[in-house]
Structure 1
Amino acid sequence: MSSQYAQLVKQLAAEDILEKFPEVIPLQKRPNTHSSESSADDAKDKVFSGHDDEQIRLMNENCIVLDWEDEAIGAGTKKLCHLMSNIEKGLLHRAFSVFFFDNEGKLLLQQRASEKITFPDLWTNTCCSHPLCVDDELGLGGSLQEKVQGAVTAAVRKLEHELGIPQEETKTRGQFHFLNRIHYMAPSNEPWGEHEIDYILFYRLGQDQKSTVDPNVNEVRDFKWVTAEELKSMFEDPSLKFTPWFKLICESYLYQWWEQLKDLSQVENDPTIHRML
């Protein structure tokens, strides 16, 4: 049974979204830039009170606004897409979550920096972010394969930005696998939240390959490599807090997928959007 919120989101056609959220730039008119212009007023906005200047700047990034079926409608700033006041009206955007494994099958976790505006200090999977509304991350042709490639392009970019993993290493030392898409909504600290169709990407380093990890302290407070059993122990520690999407993925899929890490052919490329609303 779909929730009342799911029904709200499902009934929003492209024209409804553009009418309800006039700040969304229609796809054909989008600037095709990573970020919209910032202004001196951004830092003065009361929703940014007390927040880090670099993180405020990143709130101008142009996320991909979606309809229920994961079709791109236009560009909306990260700020626009993450305000709960908009999320409660059904505003939806595209995201990705990377699970980066070493050649022994250990998973790289990060603890989000205190400076993060949404979900600060929480432990999560390796990298969680957004494809931007630009040609090489959008999946312009509209096929699932093209959208996945856009998410992978964004993931390579953000693994370097957040964790200092050089793009050339990511491209040459291992392989991405697209597992599926999950659709969820979760409030964060006021007034922020998430409402995303999230592309789940596994990445495993090749045999005898290693990866540089040199985190950006403005993004990542801490990191660690864990086995499945070590992760389960972390979830049992009441002093540790985790992002809602990471908990959802762990509860629904992660450990079963992890067991098949050496051969993901039976679980990858699932075309279904798994609704968790």
Structure 2
Amino acid sequence: MSLQAGRRILREINSINHRFIKGMASQTGDDMEGLDPTQVELLAEQCIVVDEQDRKIGADTKKSCHLMENINKGLLHRAFSVFLFNSKNELLLQQRSDEKITFPGYWTNTCCSHPLNFEAELALDDNLGVKRAAQRKLEHELGISQDQVPLEAFQYLTRIHYKAPSDGKWGEHEIDHILFIQRDVDVKPNQNEVQSTKFVSSNELREFIDNSKVRGIKITPWFGLITQTFLYPWWKNLADIERFKDQETIHKLV
């Protein structure tokens, strides 16, 4: 895909997002009281609802997909997690802003979000839909421009199915597509999304996570699961990461 075509798709994505956000005004009420207005607007986005085999069965708002009352009834949606490494083989971490509705202030991998329910991000061939969503959110959350993270640079590895409550009301229940990418990028965080970032070596990450409880550092559950299960062997083999690709398996970690 050409850069011009990619930018056209991104403009279409942003236009669709804007229409969803405008529609959120009618959905805000007492249950949204005290939450950040920008984050509340994003709750109108249409996530892709899937079954346990990651087959689309419908769509619902980000709000509906993240309410524990719906999660406890089995509502499941598609997501992605990006792990971005620089040329020094260091991993970019982010600390989620305190304005986030789920897991505010938690440290996590580079970018974690959802493909949305429209054609560009529903595409399954070569995992193109989640890769387009990853481009979109890397720019939205971290200010990383599309040309710095071209679609062909993303490597899809596998999927995990997990469930995690954030508090009594909100949580996550996702089939999470894991994407690796190695690029040197310019990071300009959107403070409403990300309050801090840092690059770490694998040894630094081990120490960071091992000492997190003592230091009062919070780690997102999906990042913890991916780190415990997969991350370090993959990290050692960034030059040959494609051999770890597993298109068929969904690892159930709930």
The TM-score, its normalising length taken from structure 1, stands at: 0.81
Question: Shift in Å at residue 40 of structure 1?
Answer: 3.7
* From 57, 70, 86, the counterpart of 1:86: 70
Give the match for residue 155 of structure 1.
134
Give the match for residue 229 of structure 2.
252
TM superposition outliers: structure 1 runs of 4+ over 6 Å: none
Contact 1:164 1:216 (8 Å CA) reproduced = yes
**1:60-112 Cα deviation digits (max 9, x unpaired):** 00000011211111220000000000000000000000000001100000000
Classify the secondary structure of the residue corresponding to 2:196: strand
Question: Shift in Å at residue 36 of structure 1?
Answer: 6.4
RMSD: 1.6
Contact 2:21 2:41 (8 Å CA) reproduced = no
Classify the secondary structure of the residue corresponding to 1:161: helix
Any unmatched runs of 5+ in structure 2?
1-14
AA matched with 1:165 = I
**2:247 counterpart of 1:262:** no
**1:24-47 Cα deviation digits (max 9, x unpaired):** xxxxxxxx944265244433232x
Give the match for residue 187 of structure 2.
213
Q: How does 1:231-246 map to 2 (within 5 A)?
A: 231-237=205-211, 238=213, 239-246=216-223
2 CA distance for matches of 1:274 and 1:40? 37
1 CA distance for matches of 2:207 and 2:150? 32
AA matched with 1:193 = G
Q: How does 1:99-248 map to 2 (within 5 A)?
A: 99-139=83-123, 143=124, 145-146=125-126, 148-171=127-150, 175-205=153-183, 210-237=184-211, 238=213, 239-248=216-225
Contact 1:33 1:133 (8 Å CA) reproduced = no
Contact 1:36 1:62 (8 Å CA) reproduced = no
AA matched with 1:261 = L
AA matched with 1:228 = S
**1:226-251 Cα deviation digits (max 9, x unpaired):** 00000011112222110000000000
Classify the secondary structure of the residue corresponding to 2:244: coil
2 CA distance for matches of 1:94 and 1:169? 25
**2:12 counterpart of 1:38:** no
Contact 1:97 1:127 (8 Å CA) reproduced = yes
1 CA distance for matches of 2:21 and 2:218? 32
Classify the secondary structure of the residue corresponding to 2:153: strand
Aligned residues: 235
**2:35 counterpart of 1:61:** no
Contact 2:24 2:43 (8 Å CA) reproduced = no
Classify the secondary structure of the residue corresponding to 1:105: coil
Contact 1:110 1:125 (8 Å CA) reproduced = yes
Classify the secondary structure of the residue corresponding to 1:178: strand
**2:249 counterpart of 1:272:** yes
1 CA distance for matches of 2:103 and 2:86? 26
Question: Shift in Å at residue 261 of structure 1?
Answer: 0.8
Q: Which has the higher helix share?
A: 2
Contact 1:124 1:242 (8 Å CA) reproduced = yes
Contact 1:43 1:53 (8 Å CA) reproduced = no
2 CA distance for matches of 1:53 and 1:164? 21
| Cα distance change, pair 235–55 in 1 and its aligned pair in 2 (3 A) | same
Contact 1:33 1:62 (8 Å CA) reproduced = no
